[in-house]
Amino acid sequence: MKIKTMAAAVLALCSLPVLAQQSLTVVNFGGANGAAQRKAFTEPFEKSAGVKVVPVEYNGEQAKVKAMVEAKKVTWDLVEVESPDANRGCDEGLFEKMDWSQVGSKADFQPAAVTECAVGIFVWSTVLAYDGDKLKDAPKSWADFWDVKKFPGKRGMRKGARYNLEFALLADGVAPADVYKVLGTPAGADRAFKKLTELRSNIQWWEAGAQPPQFLVAGDVVMSTAYNGRIDAAQREGKPLKITWNGGIYDLDYWVIPKGTPNKALAMKYIAFASTPETQAEYAKNISYGPTNNKALSKLDAKVLAQLPTSPANAKNSLQFNIHFWADQGEVLEKRFASWAAQ
């Protein structure tokens, strides 16, 4: 009798509907940034919202997002993108419009963080990095980066036109405020490529953000362009890497919601959670990227603030990456760069 009763109970339980935990697929660039997001955003959100966040790493492949949206089979709910992709994807109708009433007051955010279909996550910078143990005489500018007599050895540079053309003009004496004005002329573009050619035989290209610190630690290069957060992560591991902030190019990464995701409402909740002063401050403590919510700054101590691209000392001679310039002229310059690099 007891066996029959137990069997009936089991059957009754099996017939109940299974309440699956809601999940959200969040795509980012991984690495130190992904680890910082997990600690500051993902794990606290999972606890507070009772949601399972499924992390996916990628390397900025906008084509994957476009294919999903066009096929109406969107499996990525929330994606971190760089500014050119945020701008282009919005123009192409790949992303949902942002509900800023959920995110917060626009006045609290960096102006560049507020767009129609993207929300700025953090401010990062491409900087000049070097090994402090190997170079006692620190390079002070991009002119030093180009000076292979004073600083012999290979230079690490991201394989592409972006950033490198700006750095070339800075090395050639163009003021930060005039870089895009000069680069926007045929003579200015020629000048940038001519300056790059001077360095060609000393360049070791990199394509992933993890490579510059690896190259520097291994001694493969004497200096490298690098994402400041990757150098910060190496410093936290005890590596003697240092940053020259002079002439760095700062930019933002953004959250976008691919058009057609069934989890749009939940994705908006995640964005709102990740945009509060508290979570933004926690993120900045885990990696040296600047908050986009300005109210987060008062929650950070002087030591953390000093390592951010947005600190007054670090931002003094930096320039903001010009999305609109690269949207207009990027295709032509990248094609020219590809031909130049293949020579």
Amino acid in the structure at residue 136 = K
- The tens place of each residue's pLDDT in the chain, 343 residues long, gives 444 444 444 444 444 444 457 999 999 999 889 999 999 999 999 999 999 999 999 988 999 999 999 999 999 999 999 998 999 999 999 999 999 999 999 999 999 999 999 999 999 999 999 999 999 899 999 999 999 999 999 999 999 999 999 999 999 999 999 999 999 999 999 999 999 999 999 999 999 889 999 999 999 999 999 999 999 999 999 999 999 999 999 999 999 999 999 999 999 999 999 999 999 999 999 999 999 999 999 999 999 999 999 888 898 899 999 988 998 899 999 999 999 999 8
Among the residues of 114-163, which ranges form H helices?
Answer: 142-146
* Whether the Cβ atoms of residue 259 and residue 66 lie closer than 8 Å to each other: no
* Whether the Cβ atoms of residue 299 and residue 305 lie closer than 8 Å to each other: no
Encoding tokens for residue 261? 């995701």
Nearest to 100 by CA among 116, 89, 77, 87: 116
* Whether the Cβ atoms of residue 317 and residue 176 lie closer than 8 Å to each other: yes
* Whether the Cβ atoms of residue 159 and residue 209 lie closer than 8 Å to each other: no
Per-residue confidence (pLDDT) for residue 20, from 0 to 100: 57
By three-state DSSP, how is residue 121 classified?
Answer: strand
- Residues 190, 325: Cα–Cα separation, whole Å: 16
Quick one: CA dihedral 213, 215, 220, 224, positive or negative?
A: negative
* Whether the Cβ atoms of residue 191 and residue 172 lie closer than 8 Å to each other: yes
Q: Which domains does the chain have, with CATH numbers?
A: 23-123+252-315 (3.40.190.10), 126-249+318-342 (3.40.190.10)
* Whether the Cβ atoms of residue 333 and residue 161 lie closer than 8 Å to each other: yes
* Whether the Cβ atoms of residue 134 and residue 239 lie closer than 8 Å to each other: no
Q: How many CB atoms lie within 10 A of CB 218?
A: 9
Per-residue confidence (pLDDT) for residue 17, from 0 to 100: 43
Per-residue confidence (pLDDT) for residue 266, from 0 to 100: 98
DSSP H or E stretch at residue 26? strand 23-28
- Residues 144, 243: Cα–Cα separation, whole Å: 13
* Whether the Cβ atoms of residue 51 and residue 22 lie closer than 8 Å to each other: yes
pTM recorded for the entire structure = 0.83
From the DSSP assignment, how many helices (H) and strands (E) are in the chain? 17, 10
